[in-house]
Amino acid sequence: MIALHSILSLLLTGLYLLVVVYLIKGWAALKQPAITGAPLTTKVTILIAARDEEERIRYTIEDIIAQDYPRHLTEVIIVDDHSTDNTADIIRSYAADGITLIQLQADWPLNSYKKKAIAEAIERSGGDLMVATDADCRMGPKWLSSIVAYYETNDKVMISSPVTYFEERSLFERLQTLEFSYLIGIGAAFIGNGRASTCNGANLAYRKDVFYEVGGFKGIDDLASGDDELLLQKVAVVYPHRIGFFKNQDAVVYTHAKHTLQEFLQQRRRWASKSTRYKDKKIVALAVCIWLFNLSLIANALLSFYDSSFFRLFLVQFLLKFLFEAVFLIPITGFFKRAGLVGLLIILAPIHIVYFVYVGLIGNTSKYSWKGRTVR
């Protein structure tokens, strides 16, 4: 029985390492894209769904107003999702700067207000390229022009661009930044390998006609989350080779880590809740295997109290996991100019094992709180 357990643990370890090698290859395959210097001509609509964002939305709006993209080609639509604070008033105060406010009026309770908000903004939009971000994000002045230049130079119908955390105030938040870099790297690497799987809605662009061609959010609108990844996977079915990751520092969007453990776990539960709805069931199966690998690490650590051979097995698994993940993270954190964060992997790695197993369990079995609502 011990021998069988050890063989299974090593098989799961080998599978996980092959996945990380695949990710390393995918990130490396993403080269700096060629962009022509021709004048940009695409009519763009920037989409934001906002709820109770009075603390930060002003900074997001001002960053958007400061973009160097031609103003006559830029439309900004912000949908206020039943905010209970001054979010709508703040948005309204920028009307003279071309910021359009839509106040969402849902006639009945929804599970996905954000998808409803985005869909309504797209319906009223006049742009050809939709560029979605969040109401608590920051971006540099070349953010929009760099994305559009990539769009016009490359034959893509959907573009995922990098997102990172900044302005961390604690070790806990810096650990989140490192873990988030890993997640962003996974989405980028899969696209680099020609197989789109994940992205982040804080920095996602897609053609308006393609959104309607794939049926928009129809079929995924019963889930609170998934306005980004599940939409990407619908597009990938129709255009598997026309989804790009824009690996460019001008295109980076910055947001903040969660300040408390409770907020962090709620966010990760929300993200995990959409995993079983992925159209590519091979990705779901792979995620289950990775979950089992992490579970085997916990099992071997606990069984070490029974037999020291399990501790040696755990040590081999953990060291291989640590080394391969470090190799993957070094170029990603380097891209974000945060290479020093990799040193925190020695702290993050053991915590991540337990957290990954826990979130995998509760993410698909429980409701969670998001923006003051209980959703699933």
Instruction: Please state, for a pLDDT cut of 70, what percent of the chain lies above it.
Output: 93
pLDDT confidence of residue 21: 98
Question: pLDDT tens digits, residue range 5-37?
Answer: 889 999 999 999 999 999 999 999 998 877 777
Q: Using the predicted structure, report yes or no on whether residue 111 has a pLDDT greater than 70.
A: no
SS (H, E, C) the chain: CHHHHHHHHHHHHHHHHHHHHHHHHHHHHCCCCCCCCCCCCCCEEEEEEECCCCCCHHHHHHHHHCCCCCHHHEEEEEEECCCCCCHHHHHHCCHHHCEEEEECCCCCCCCCHHHHHHHHHHHHCCCCEEEEEECCCEECCCHHHHHHHHHHHCCCCEEECCEEECCCCCHHHHHHHHHHHHHHHHHHHHHHCCCCCCCCCCCEEEEHHHHHHCCCCCCCCCCCCCCCHHHHHHHHHHCCCCEEECCCHHHCEEECCCCCHHHHHHHHHHHHCCHHHCCCHHHHHHHHHHHHHHHHHHHHHHHCCCCHHHHHHHHHHHHHHHHHHHHHHHHHHHHCCCHHHHHHHHHHHHHHHHHHHHHHHHCCCCCEEECCEEEC
For the cut 60, the answer to whether the pLDDT of residue 375 exceeds it is: no
Q: Is CATH 2.60.34.10 the classification given to domain 32-277?
A: no
What global pTM score does this model have?
0.92
For 37-51, how does the pLDDT look when each residue is reduced to its tens digit (9 = 90+)? 789 999 999 999 999
What average pLDDT is seen over the chain? 92
pLDDT of 366 higher than 60: no
What is the mean predicted confidence (pLDDT) over 127-137?
98
Of 178-182, 227-231, 267-271, give the range with the top mean pLDDT.
178-182
Looking at residue 38, what is its pLDDT? 82
Residue 376 — very low, low, confident or very high, per pLDDT cuts 50/70/90?
low
Instruction: Using the predicted structure, report yes or no on whether residue 64 has a pLDDT greater than 60.
Output: yes
